[in-house]
Amino acid sequence: MDIQARLLQHMGPAMVDLVRLCAWLVVLMLIFVPLERIWPVRRQKLLRKSFGTDLAYYFLSGILPKLILVVPLSFVAAVVHRVSVDGLYPVMAELPFGVRLAAAMIVGETGFYWGHRWSHRIPWLWRFHAVHHSAEELDWLVGSRAHPVDMVFTRLCGMAPMYVLGLAQPMGNSVDLVPVLVTLLGTIWGFFVHSNVLWRLGWLERVIASPAFHHWHHTNDGPEYLDKNFAPMLPWVDQVFGTLYLPKGKWPAKYGTDTVVAKGMGGQLIGPFS
């Protein structure tokens, strides 16, 4: 057994998650900090307003939602496995991995879209989602600013349909990589679309989300621009449901929300419940 294996054996799950998050933080900073300095949408400080709060959210969002989601998703998976033994579940299990992954991406994206859209339209859910929209400066780390209730609800909307349709099958004899890859790709892309990077992707912007696509979701330029671009990764989902807004050569003038949100993390976590 090598040294790394010995260390992992003696570390608790929480410590392993913490080390993993610290390592990812270093990688993300090495990627996005130079990009945001070289190709910024707008010039802003590296340690901009609320950077420390968002850094705390980075660790909270990396640990807590996963722990909370274990129970409901395990229940959904167990029920589907039991009721579809002679039906959909084994049929989906026989699909080629690439086909099942692509189908899971589309199904999950549609679920994430509607979970996100409901978080804007349903007042009680908006109380939690407004925390994310309270950012007045965007960079790669803002993607981590999310109330745990908001994150759990949206992820459940995206992941549950994958389990119900048998596209994610955690009840098998080995770890199913489909939900792992869907989550990993979505998380990585979330950092990219929030980044303060002036890149436009040409015709690909209608296929895969760019920073411009998601920056328009965060705009506070006026009521006519609000509630657009809900999809995490696939803008054509917004096109299908009539919520796509992606003008060429134009970026939002300002970000944030008119909803009153506490400045500190403690108030942001407790405030939506009051």
Contact partners, residue 140, CB within 8 Å, separation at least 6: 28, 32, 36, 191, 192, 194, 195, 196
> pLDDT: is 124 or 13 the higher one?
124
Instruction: Give the pLDDT confidence of 173-213 residue by residue, as tens digits.
Output: 566 788 889 989 999 999 999 999 999 988 899 999 999 99
Residue 66 pLDDT: 77
pLDDT of residue 164: 83
Q: Please give the model's pTM, rounded to 2 decimal places.
A: 0.88
Provide the token pair at 70. Answer: 């274990």
Give me the residue label for tokens 């570390």. 11
Q: pLDDT tier at 91 (50, 70, 90 boundaries)?
A: confident
